[in-house]
Amino acid sequence: MKHISSLSILLRQGRQYIPDPTTVEVPGIFRGRPVISEETVDNETLVACCPMGAINADDKVSLDLGKCAFCGLCARKFPSKIRFTKDYHLATTVRENLIVNEGEDKPIEFGPKPECCSKFRGSLKLRQVSAAGDNSCEWELGATSNVNFDMGRYGIEFVASPRHADGIVITGPISRNMARATQICYDAVPDPKLVVLCGVDAISGGLYADSEDIDRSFLQAHKADLYLPGNPAHPLTILNGLLALTRK
């Protein structure tokens, strides 16, 4: 009876894990890489509608995924100008690659990754640092290890101690209260080590970028090796970014 019950669950729910997370299509509502058309609109209104200040129209219209909350407000107000695809391959090693320009419909360029493949190819252990995060990216990072995404099958895991880690994953804008703790955690990671920024708050400060309670001096002293945009970053964005960083 026990085996029959298990088979019944499989028939009802289907296969839960994702065989290939690099090619699977995201079901339901998901906003991935945006595409900006060359149609003429009121650029001043377009820029003003973004609560994150992610849209620029000094020359051509551009959208900075490092600042974008993926709220979709711009696409709803200007559907002929901006649309969001389901492309979750948004990770990059170069901050400037997160800027999507008008008239371009191409994947986000990942960028160079010197020595990462040879040093972290078979196993990558990461310590997550919630530097005043809101728990959204923290939840998605946790989801990468569940039965659906199963990041551990690629040798990528989160560990409890920075002394057992190959790098840190920062979520949140880095508040003044977390600035020293983030540095201490980073210092405890043995060399060579990585810095990964997950989510809009970590990449640009998000809504809190101009707050006096934010201290992002850590990122002035240490260059990020990987940017994972999103609000929060989707588990497939996270997983594909880490795979791209450690695989040829």
Model confidence over 158-172: pLDDT tens digits?
A: 999 999 999 999 999
Domains of the chain with bracketed CATH: 115-246 (3.40.50.12280)
pLDDT in tens, 83-96: 999 999 999 999 99
pLDDT of 9 strictly over 70: no
Q: Using H for helix, E for strand and C for coil, what is the string for the chain?
A: CHHHHHHHHHHHHCCCCCCCCCCCCCCCCCCCCEEECCCCCCHHHHHHCCCCCCEECCCCCEEECCCCCCCCHHHHHCCCCEEECCCCCCCECCHHHHEEECCCCCCCCCCCCCCHHHHHCCCEEEEEEECCCCCHHHHHHHHCCCCCCCHHHHCEEECCCHHHCCEEEEECCCEHHHHHHHHHHHHHCCCCCEEEEECHHHHHCHHHCCCCCECCHHHHHCCCCEEECCCCCCHHHHHHHHHHHHCC
pLDDT at 115: 73
pLDDT of 1 strictly over 60: no
pLDDT in tens, 188-231: 999 999 999 999 999 999 999 999 999 999 999 999 999 999 99
pLDDT at 21: 93
Question: What value does the mean pLDDT of the chain take?
Answer: 92
pLDDT of 120 strictly over 90: no
pLDDT at 27: 82
Predicted TM-score (pTM) of this structure: 0.92
Instruction: Give the residue, 228 or 8, on which the prediction is more confident.
Output: 228
pLDDT at 3: 67
pLDDT of 39 strictly over 80: yes
